A and B are shown apart, each in its own frame.
Chain A
């Protein structure tokens, strides 16, 4: 086929394809890179889930999940994290419309709910350790503390990150770099909630039901 004919047959009003528009905006590239990181983080959690699933019956005569887990605490933790994911979403809406007060309000609510989740989790852990259910008691408890503790560590880092971001918003305002970091933070926070969905189902609900 003649090249000139091929060019003539291309309709002129179609937008150029992705490959013809040049490099993507930095916001897209940064968020995509962070998306890849989150997926690798989820794969790390998958390894911890797998080790937990393999070791869940290895209680070595120690307490099992049915004796240790308090479903009311877990339900409150779940609601805290879910609503904090929602307020994080509302915060990103406020950021998109450059609404500073709404951003602070969303951040405060997200932080408070995340901190409530973390407080409940730390209380649950210290309660278990006080009853002799320490990580070194059995393989099941080692796997439990590794999996749930790793998620708790992520939540802690997320809370610190949120504080840092609010300082940056206060000092630098809504510059593109800060907006990109806030987008990454909201991705991180939503991904943590997705991991928690798997966690409360596999560890707390399946561990308690017969």
Chain B
């Protein structure tokens, strides 16, 4: 990275000249590793414990996974909110949007179709009563 005015390559750290107070790069990776390990341990604990209400575990695991992905992006891939990484963040946001549409859309449509397929056989008496 030679010119600080340019966009920053994804994965590159912000240059030290611009951010004199930035922590050392070794420290950034180590903090990322420790936080990620803690989140992973929490995920495995939450999936196996009987202390928590089982209905909430599903949501908790999803939140922990998204948090850990965020930690990876910030501490390992160095995605920041700075002006020099705008393009990277915009591309990432578009990718996340498509991922959300593909996963949520597929599950929604398939669950809906599944329900429509099951209706005649699952509840024949109710169907007859309604007509």
Interface residues of A (CB under 8 A from B): 15-18, 21, 24-25, 27-28, 30-32, 34-36, 39-40, 42-43, 46-47, 49-51, 53-54, 71, 75, 78-79, 82-83, 85-86, 89-90, 92-93, 96, 183, 186-187, 190-191, 193-194, 197-198, 200-202, 205-206, 208-210
Contact = CB atoms under 8 A, between A and B. Distances in A.
Given A35-B88, A35-B91, A197-B65, A86 B32 contact: yes
B44 A205 contact: yes
Nearest to A189: B76
B7 A46 contact: no
17 contacts: A16-B5, A21-B6, A31-B11, A32-B7, A39-B92, A43-B98, A46-B98, A50-B107, A54-B110, A71-B44, A86-B76, A93-B26, A183-B9, A190-B11, A194-B72, A201-B64, A201-B65
Contacts of B30: 86
Contacts, number: 149
Interface string B79-109: 0000000011001101100110011011100
Nearest to B105: A50
Contacts of B43: 200-201, 205
Which 10 A/B pairs are nearest by Cβ-Cβ distance?
A: A31-B9, A39-B95, A50-B106, A201-B65, A205-B47, A46-B99, A89-B29, A35-B10, A86-B33, A54-B110
A82 B57 contact: no
A197 B42 CA distance: 13
B12 A183 contact: yes
From DSSP, what is the main secondary structure of chain B's interface residues?
helix
From DSSP, what is the main secondary structure of chain A's interface residues?
helix
Most buried by A among B40, B77, B110: B77
Contacts of A79: 37, 40
A204 B1 CA distance: 40
Interface residues on B, range: 35 or more
Given A43-B102, A50-B103, A28 B8 contact: yes
B95 A201 contact: no
Contact of A82 (B5, B36, B87): B36
A9 to B, nearest CB: 21
Contacts of A30: 9
A17 to B, nearest CB: 8
B5 A18 contact: yes
Contact of A32 (B76, B88, B98, B103): B88
A71 B48 contact: yes
A24 B6 contact: yes
A193 B3 CA distance: 30
Nearest to B88: A35
Interface string B12-48: 1000000000000110011011001100100110111
A197 B44 contact: no
Nearest to A97: B25
Given A49-B103, A186-B11, A85 B61 contact: no
